[in-house]
Amino acid sequence: MKVVAFIPARGGSKGLPGKNIKPFAGKPLIAHTIKFALDCGVFDEVIVSTDDEQIKEISESYGARVVLRPDYLAEDGSLVVDAVHYTLGVLTSEDLRPDFCFLLECTSPFRTKQDVKKALEMLQSDRFDSVASFKKCELPPTRIWKIEGDTALPFISGADPFLPRQQQEEGYELTGEIYGFNVDRFIETHAKSVLYGKFFPLQSTSKFFAEIDTEIDFEVAEYFMKRLLNENDPINV
């Protein structure tokens, strides 16, 4: 059985230029995810997909293999799933196609080894085509509104946003930390998402969550990462 980690890292970030290699709690942001994957004890190979030479050099210096993606897969409107298909095609041509692949977004760095191992366990059971990490939404979906002109309406038609929280149905959202999938079925079905077929919703055990798109996102995430890396910090007790 072969399992690989796939880390997408396009060079042309607009919201926070250079974010993938921006210094973050002592090392480039992408290095935290590379190191996590290498130390996880699950992955046979850690692959970074990028179009950027500086990202390539930094990723290789931290022990990842880099597969350069063509320009048409590195545009603003390009989809990560297409870069995944491209990279798996490269591995297949080298007779190195893995059994399972995990997509790890370096902009969501607070994943746990426990969750990765649980995700792999679900895939190995052959009951699921794919798996992804989820967390509870801060607000129940029935408390979300939409504004149309000068009118505010419940986003979900017929919902009562004023019910007590205990009577509201909980919602979940993807964390971006972990996506895992069966590679053969992903390729055979020409999957249009890494979350495809019958999938398992893994409830994340992470203490913190981040989706780093802006400078504020970056600074908040770095604050908590520094605390997690400090063994003497009370949050690690």
Backbone phi and psi for residue 224, each to the nearest 5 degrees, phi listed first: -75, -35
Q: For residue 193, what are the CA distances in angstroms to 17, 24, 102, 203?
A: 26, 29, 13, 19
Provide the 8-state DSSP code for 64.
Answer: -
pLDDT of 35 reads 97
Q: Are strands 130-136 and 199-203 parallel, antiparallel or unpaired?
A: parallel
Domains of the chain by start residue, with CATH: 3-137+171-236 (3.90.550.10)
CA-atom Rg of the chain in angstroms? 19
pLDDT of 237 reads 55
Q: Whole-angstrom Cα distance, residue 199 to residue 206?
A: 20
Instruction: Return averaged pLDDT per consecutive 10 residues of the chain, 237 residues in all.
Output: 97 84 96 97 97 97 97 91 98 97 97 97 98 95 93 91 88 96 98 97 95 95 92 72
- Does the predicted model carry a pTM greater than 0.85? yes
Q: Are strands 100-103 and 27-28 parallel, antiparallel or unpaired?
A: unpaired
Q: Whole-angstrom Cα distance, residue 183 to residue 85?
A: 10
